[in-house]
Amino acid sequence: MPPKFAAKNILGGFMFKLLLLAFLYLNVALALAQTSQKTIEYTGQSEDIVDLFSTQTHTEYTYEDVVTTCSRQIQDGYETICYKHLIEKRRICQRIDGRTICSDDGSGNTDHGDNGDHSNGDDDDDDSSSHTTCYDRPTYRTEYYSCVQVISHPYEVFDFNTEGKASVKFSPWPSELTPSKASVTVNLNSAGALSANADAGQSPVFIFGEWRDEVREDSGEARKVSATLNVSFQNATEILAPLQSSIRDIALNNQEVSFLVTKGSNVSDYELEFKAKKVRWFILKDKEIVKTKLNASQFKITSEGDQWRIHVPLLSLGKFEIKAKYRFEFALKLGDEIKDRLLNQQQFPTTKTEGKFKGRFQ
């Protein structure tokens, strides 16, 4: 077999071995590092018990010297590369004693033209010629040779197992919504930590979860964890109403800026991101006065029929100048305290409403 093809076969075999080792490592890792999860289908029950099991491992390596084929580029000569490029020439022609006499600009070469009818004075004529430039460029060949590469072999080392038990307790489903149907999934990761997520299907329901009474046995290779997950449900329609409406009827005076949204649920369910910039002229960049997040105790909500007016007190937030013009940005959003407890947040991608306003403080 020619050396070139022999080298390719050796290299191909080496790559196959690497792929095989990677495949085996992935399967071993998946087999040893196990997580666990179980899903409870809620249909109105008050409690469910979930038993889980997980395994924690870590990766270590052994190393092997493998003889294989390497390659390198060897210079074995030169090749000559040529290319042509045009040279512009300018010819200057004059009528002298009835004859046209032309010369190349800068060359001193003279051409006596014919006695045809030409206009008096200087005539210009353009011409061009080509010039060839050559240079030598190195050439290379591929040389194969035997070499040694260090290959690492990963393997998983057992650390510990964890037995998990979760007691899931359910509060009543909202009576105005039917059917009472949802799913709650309890997870135990390889490190022995419990978590949960949920789904209410097509129902506009917030599913809240709160872990309580966790007990852990974290020594040795056989560990245990148990905890109670309190699950509650809340109709999300009223909470989301202001966040799914637009910010409108923005008003500004020398005390506050305010705006209207659709009426919602409890004031404490919301927080407000607020920015204010002083407008400056010409090339000056607007000056930031306020950039903050306000909780429900830092702004006021009043009812106007089926709407809420949000009042933002300006004087307690920054220094605003009379007659100056400002840009305001608002974002009314679901409070972090609610979002942190929400198990089905993926069902509600829209959890804030935004607005902008420019006005004069007076």
Q: Are residues 117 and 202 in the same domain?
A: no
Kindly state the percentage of the chain with pLDDT values over 70.
82
**Whether residue 6 has pLDDT greater than 90:** no
* ∠ CA 262-263-264, rounded to 5°: 115
Q: Measured between alpha carbons, how far is residue 78 from residues 71, 88, 132, 141, 158 in Å?
A: 21, 32, 19, 12, 60
Give me the pLDDT at residue 187, please: 97
Q: Are residues 195 and 252 in the same domain?
A: no
Q: Are residues 217 and 258 in the same domain?
A: no
Q: Are residues 259 and 164 in the same domain?
A: no
Q: Are residues 356 and 286 in the same domain?
A: yes
362 CA to centre of own chain: 42
Q: Are residues 315 and 348 in the same domain?
A: yes
The reply to whether 251 falls in a domain is yes
Q: Are residues 253 and 117 in the same domain?
A: no
Cα–Cα dist 243/236, whole Å: 11
Residue in 84, 89, 83 with CA at minimum distance from that of residue 128? 89
Which distant-in-sequence residues (6+ apart) come within 8 Å of 94 by Cβ?
A: 100, 101, 102, 122, 123
Residues 69-121 pLDDT 10s = 999 999 999 999 888 877 666 666 777 777 777 766 544 455 554 444 444 44
Q: Are residues 103 and 227 in the same domain?
A: no
Cα–Cα dist 125/102, whole Å: 9
Q: Are residues 261 and 337 in the same domain?
A: yes
Provide the pairing of β-strand 325-334 with 300-304.
unpaired
Domain count, the chain: 3
Containing structural domain, residue 99: 77-139
Q: 187, 204, 235: which is the final residue of a domain?
A: 235
Q: 184, 219, 235: which is the final residue of a domain?
A: 235
Max CA separation in the chain (angstroms): 122
**Prediction pTM value:** 0.67
Give me the pLDDT at residue 127, please: 52
Average pLDDT over residues 160-181: 94
218 burial class (0-12, 13-18, 19+ CB within 10 angstroms)?
exposed
Q: Are residues 191 and 315 in the same domain?
A: no
Query: Residue for token digits 């038990």?
Result: 165
The reply to whether 145 falls in a domain is no
| Cis omega (within 30 of 0) for bond into 204 | no
Q: Are residues 209 and 350 in the same domain?
A: no
Q: 235, 261, 281: which is the final residue of a domain?
A: 235
